[in-house]
Structure 1
Amino acid sequence: MSRWSCPELAVELEGRGITGPISPSTVRRWLREEAIKPWQHRSWIFITDPAFRPKAERALDLYARTFNGEPLGADEYVISADEKTSIQARCRCHPTLAPGQARAMRVNHTYGRGGALAYLAAYDVHQARVFGRTEPRTGIDPFMALVAQVMSQEPYASAKRVFWIVDNGSSHRGQAAADRMTAAFPNAVLMHTPIHASWMNQVEVYFSVVQRKVVSPNDFTDLTQVWDRLRAFEDRYNATAQPFQWKFTTSDLGDLLAGLDRHTVDHHPEESSLRLSA
């Protein structure tokens, strides 16, 4: 087994003759006091994007309102965009019970499937303004519809440049996506985060807010109600939101990469070829 319960460990210890009869609570106490806890784990991944540093630095510089060492002008904007896929309308088989005195809200576990939609959002990093739309699915055309929704209105339509920060999803991957956006809107500049670094995309913070405040606990009658709720939340959010206090800077990035570089050399010399250049 990859994970043992305390009763199972108690039986195993006694069966192997390591201890005499022992209670699960004693095993639990021993494990709690141990410094090494082998039942816990963390996942990790190697940085494989050879352009990780320059891509990350461009995004972080844009958050700090600079590009290629120059401050952005008043008519230049930074948009963070992505898709939140497969938001389901779960129709609960019994009505949700409102919370009461000393009682939490009760949501029936059994539900009927009312379909799913994709929520596409573009977040103006410095204005704290969200533009959203729903689509049956993600793809190039739905993403370009979001781009057109933003770029066809002011102040973006007449802006000098509008930088779009996106991850490497199939809807907006690679140079082809950048060329497609520029062809449609010459003042739009598509910028990609590094591969496996969607956490650098600020719209993901907004999506986490949507998940907590709108989607959970997911009790919708149909997809129309999902969209109505998302649309109403956008209006509420845009009326009160302040820009995220983004604190991860290019200096922090340098420290992080230096630490990863030291770890790779010390513990995985065979992976030294994957280290990033300074």
Structure 2
Amino acid sequence: MPDPRLEPLVLSEDERRILENWVKRRSTAQGLALRARVVLACAQGGSNVAVAARLGVDRKTVTRWRARFLRERLDGLHDEPRPGVPRTITDAQVEEVIVRTLEEVPAGATHWSKRELARRVGISPTSVHRIWRSFGLQPHCTEDFKISPDPLLLDKIRDVVGLYLAPPANAAVFAVDEKPQIQALQRTAPVLPMIPGVPERRSRDYVRHGTIDLFAALNTATGKVIGKLSAQHRAVDFRDFLDDIDRQVTPGLDIHVICDNLSAHKAPVVQKWLLTHPRVQLHFTPTYSSWISQVERWFAELQRRCLDRGVFCSLDELTAALEEWIELWNATARPFKWTKTADQIIDRICRYCTRVSGPGH
């Protein structure tokens, strides 16, 4: 048998292209990329010692992969099957785990735990967990959904999404809502600050110093927010907030206000105000569809960044914190980007309806 150290290494065009792709692609395993570089360097000529010096690897590495390539070509560069413990879980057991998870529940419970299912199938809890993870099954997780019964659901979705994706010319579009009963909470013990290895800690109990309501109007084009704090959120308070929006919007622009179906938004006092302010037009979201209002996304940021971990010893402190948050937000405001079209949203609702109205429901 000829010495592989002396045998010339010649690549075909296809082999060279494949090896170069292995070297370039980031997804290629590090070991496979190194072997491809070794073979390409050997094809350029030179002894194993010279190739090892050029690549900065051990001479034995070059010798091994040159020989493997000459003997098996590209297949020789892949890892060989490694020895290990023989497989103990059969395909039938894997199928049983999946079928029981999807189609059955244990007696007296609403879903399987990995230990309960392991006892039933006769394998270890770790094996059940691996099977669940491989097939994307999460029996412990649940999600809520609500299909809107609004008879004008499709028309309202098209109306609101149309304002997001193709707003009218010479008009300002606002997503408006209230965040009621914001609590001024003071922890009964001082907050312990974060230190390396230990997160910030707060006491569970608290003292409440009152509540306040926040009206917010998010300009969907700029991301800026018009806010107003109020002790209540009655129809007259909503009307007064519409007055604030009207005063702050440039004269000559139409105003489109997206709001939910709260009775205060449709009260006679609001209707009378709209008659005297013809440039303002209300657009209503479908019932049970607060997710379609962009101001809810802003409320989520407010809750996460300002309120969840805030400590407020008085209602005045809470008021000052909310006003400061709105001011800082507006200083660097950026709009939320709406990407779903009305047809995409309606198609997804139809898929939900098909699933919940099928057999077994």
Short-chain TM bin: 0.7 to 0.9
Residue of structure 2 equivalent to 1:275: none
Partner of 1:206: 298
Change in CA separation of 1:19 and 1:210 when aligned onto 2, cut-off 3 Å: closer
Cα contact 1:31–1:37 (8 A) shared by 2? no
Match of 1:46 in 2: 147
Once residues 246 and 308 of structure 2 are traced to their aligned partners in structure 1, the CA distance between those partners, rounded to angstroms, is 31
Distance in structure 1 (CA, Å) of the matches to 2:327 and 2:297: 17
Residue 131 of structure 2 is matched in structure 1 by: 33
- Give CA deviations for 1:51-74 in whole Å, capped at 9, x if unaligned: 1011111111111234xxxxx223
- 2:234 paired with 1:139: yes
Q: CA deviation at 1:238?
A: 0.7
TM-score normalised by length of structure 1: 0.78
Runs of 5+ consecutive residues of structure 1 not aligned to the other structure = 67-71, 271-278
TM-score normalised by L of structure 2: 0.61
Q: Percent identity?
A: 23
Secondary structure of the corresponding residue to residue 248 of structure 2: coil
The CA deviation string for residues 138-168 of structure 1, in whole angstroms up to 9 with x for no partner, is 221222221111112341xx23420100011
Inter-partner Cα distance in structure 1 for 2:210 and 2:279: 37
Q: 1 CA distance for matches of 2:159 and 2:113?
A: 50
Distance 1:138 1:88 in 2: 15
* SS of residue paired to 2:312: coil
SS at match of 2:177: strand
Residues 116-151 of structure 1: CA distance to partner in whole angstroms, max 9, x if unpaired?
Answer: 111111111112110111222222122222111111
Counterpart CA distance in 2 for 1:60 and 1:19 is 49
Q: Which of 50, 56, 59 matches 2:157? A: 56
Higher relative contact order (CA 8 A, sep 6+): 1
Cα 1:87–1:94 change in 2 (3 A) is same
Mapped pair 1:102 → 2:102: no
Equivalent pair of 1:123/1:131 in contact (CA under 8 Å): yes
Match of 1:193 among 277, 285, 293: 285
- Looking at secondary structure, tell me which structure has more helix per residue: 2
| 1:115-154 to 2 correspondences below 5 Å | 115-154=210-249
Unpaired runs of at least 5, structure 2: 1-107
Q: How does 1:10-89 map to 2 (within 5 A)?
A: 26-27=124-125, 30=128, 33-34=131-132, 38-66=139-167, 72-74=168-170, 76-89=171-184
Q: How many residues align?
A: 251
Deviations 1:18-43 (A, max 9, x none): 699x9xxx446535634665443332
1:167 and 2:260 are equivalent in the alignment = yes
Separation in 1, partners of 2:113, 2:256 = 54
What residue number does 2:187 align with? 92
Contact kept in structure 2, 1:178 and 1:189, CA below 8 Å: no
Task: Quote the Cα distance in structure 2 between the aligned partners of 1:204 and 1:253.
Answer: 18
Q: Which runs of 4+ in 1 moved over 4 A?
A: 1-10, 26-29, 34-39
Equivalent residue for 2:29?
none
